[in-house]
Amino acid sequence: MKKHNFSAGPSILHDEVIKNAADAVMNFAGTGLSLLEVSHRGKEFTAVMEEARKLFKELIDAPDGYEVLFLGGGASLQFYMAPLNLLQKKAAYINTGTWATNAIKQAKYVGDVEVLASSEDKNFSYIPKGFFIPEDVDYFHYTSNNTIYGTEIRKDFDTNVRLVADMSSDIFTRPVDVSKYDLIYGGAQKNIAPAGATFVLVRKDALGHVDRPLPAMLDYNIHIKKDSMYNTPPVFPIYVALQTLKWYKELGGVKVLEKMNIEKAGLLYDEIDRNRLFKGTVAVEDRSLMNICFVMNDEYKELEPEFATFAAERGMVGIKGHRSVGGFRASLYNAMPKSSVEALVQAMKDFENKH
Ligand SMILES: *Cc1c(COP(=O)(O)O)cnc(C)c1O
């Protein structure tokens, strides 16, 4: 039996996507060669790259003037690469968790950074509100989904300032108004592909306005000019990304995915709120649809290891909470079937009955 994979990342991929990837590892596009041993410049892989970039733009509904790149280095390299390309004088950030903290730290190597608000005072268990975004910044950066703490900003900010967002863990989980953004980036290993590829969606005319010299590998314009093949791209994860994007399209796109995600997360949050053993860890209005963090109520705290074993015996993997929150975290990415969420909910009910 396949396990219920609640891992936060690298994470679950759709069965069909994994099967297509396995087939291509054996025989890629009828070449008689493995995807793992072909040239990235061959016509078969060039076609994959082209289609993946095109389909990414189509699914996220990017207007003209935006480019999609698949690079290496992870979201963590983008923490530095984004300011290098976009920050001339000053940028504004909000600090909503570990990844945002890292992004702020890297941007400070490049220019002035104004941290408008932070939720560090309460272990990042809420999204700061009511802060003012100054108009004189090059961009405003935020992390849309805080993978570790389980909070999410599910709306595009209402501001005239250009937005830059780390959407590593909630890309393609809801519609986004791309026209408000100069840049959206993320590691592909949460909702698109296995580890190794980083997606970048960038507005072309936002580039070229900084006066520092840019190293070639860190220059978005060079990657754009070379059709995301300035150097050897991560061929395998890009192929898998294309399979996922095709599956998203088949399902009906981001609106359909959003509906599924609201339903799946709703099932689990309802149980967390109903079950006398468990409680959520973040402000209810800021709850993430992707990473659902919960702990045991204080009087049952010592049962946490027992529930971990109980769930593991039922085929559940990856629900241990991050060390900075404790308890449990169930990641319900796009590829997570509703049946797995139902299995977790049932396990929680059965465990409650046992105690
Ligand atoms: C996982 C994650 C990262 C780190 O991504 P890497 O690809 O490992 O660098 C950054 N931001 C968010 C929101 C994440 O979930």
CA of 168 to the centre of ligand 1 (A): 6
The 10 Å Cβ neighbour count of residue 353 is 7
CA of 351 to the centre of ligand 1 (A): 33
Residue 225 a catalytic site member: no
Residue in 150, 146, 96, 141 with CA at minimum distance from that of residue 121? 96
Task: Reply yes or no on whether the pLDDT at 340 is more than 80.
Answer: yes
Task: Reply yes or no on whether the pLDDT at 54 is more than 70.
Answer: yes
Q: What is the pLDDT of residue 1?
A: 67
Task: List pLDDT tens digits, range 232-267.
Answer: 999 999 999 999 999 999 999 999 999 999 999 999
- DSSP secondary structure string for all residues of 31-42: SSS-GGGS-TTS
Ligand 1 pocket, CB under 6 A: 9, 74-76, 99, 143, 147, 166, 168-169, 187, 190
The 10 Å Cβ neighbour count of residue 300 is 18
Residue 177 a catalytic site member: no
| CB 65 within 8 Å of CB 188 | no
Q: What is the pLDDT of residue 40?
A: 97
Residue in 260, 354, 267, 272 with CA at minimum distance from that of residue 321? 272
- DSSP secondary structure string for all residues of 204-240: GGGSS---S---GGG-HHHHHHTTT-SS---HHHHHH
Catalytic residue among 138, 170, 182, 190: 190
Task: List pLDDT tens digits, range 164-222.
Answer: 999 999 999 999 999 999 999 999 999 999 999 999 999 999 999 999 999 999 999 99
Question: What Rg do the C-alpha atoms of the chain give, in angstroms?
Answer: 21
Confidence of residue 31 (pLDDT cuts 50, 70, 90): very high
Task: Reply yes or no on whether the pLDDT at 10 is more than 90.
Answer: yes
The stretch 45-66 carries a mean pLDDT of 98
Alpha carbon 176 to chain centroid distance? 14
Q: What is the pLDDT of residue 2?
A: 84
Q: Nearest residue CA, atom 13 of ligand 1?
A: 168
CA of 188 to the centre of ligand 1 (A): 9
Task: List pLDDT tens digits, range 263-306.
Answer: 999 999 999 999 999 999 999 999 999 999 999 999 999 999 99
Task: List pLDDT tens digits, range 107-140.
Answer: 999 999 999 999 999 999 999 999 999 999 999 9
Q: What is the pLDDT of residue 262?
A: 98
Give the pairing type, strands 112-118 and 90-95. Answer: parallel
Residue 247 a catalytic site member: no
| CB 164 within 8 Å of CB 139 | yes
CA of 82 to the centre of ligand 1 (A): 14
The 10 Å Cβ neighbour count of residue 303 is 17
Residue in 330, 327, 322 with CA at minimum distance from that of residue 99? 322
Task: List pLDDT tens digits, range 148-164.
Answer: 999 999 999 999 999 99
Q: Nearest residue CA, atom 5 of ligand 1?
A: 75
Q: What is the pLDDT of residue 144?
A: 98
**Burial degree of 238 (CB within 10 A; 0-12, 13-18, 19+):** buried
Q: Which DSSP helix (H) or strand (E) runs through 66?
A: strand 66-71
Q: What is the pLDDT of residue 283?
A: 98
